[in-house]
Structure 1
């Protein structure tokens, strides 16, 4: 069953993911948004994740 609320999480490589709000966030990931519906979280990801290249390769 799909969770009603999600959060956007980001790792140290500045990669984003959608995550169920009722689950513990995995190590290495940090919550970026308040719990919201899936569509709004995906919109956030689309607005903020504009370069798919991992941060370590962009800054290298």
Structure 2
């Protein structure tokens, strides 16, 4: 039986998360977040750590507008 493919959770400067093969470096603009596992494990982790999927710049802009 073959081993399951391992993924890593990667994140960009907008705090957006994605899965990437653990065997290769993430693409430019993305960095490892520190979690590695099966696809299902990584998806569960992303669901935990990234509840608000809006990009960071949008969240900041909306927060500024709310405080005006």
TM-score by length of 2: 0.76
Partner of 1:27: 28
Structure ranking higher on relative contact order (CA contacts 8 Å, 6+ apart): 1
Over the aligned positions, Cα root-mean-square deviation in angstroms equals 1.3
Q: Tell me which stretches of 4 or more aligned residues in structure 1 moved more than 6 Å.
A: none
Q: Structure 2: give runs of 5+ residues left out of the alignment.
A: 62-68
Question: What does 1:6-17 align with in structure 2 at a 5 Å threshold?
Answer: 6-17=7-18
1:43 aligns with 2:57: no
Mapped partners of 1:36, 1:15: distance in 2: 18
Aligned residues: 58
Structure with more of its chain in helix, by fraction: 2
Structure with more of its chain in strand, by fraction: 2
Q: Structure 1: give runs of 5+ residues left out of the alignment.
A: none
Larger radius of gyration: 2
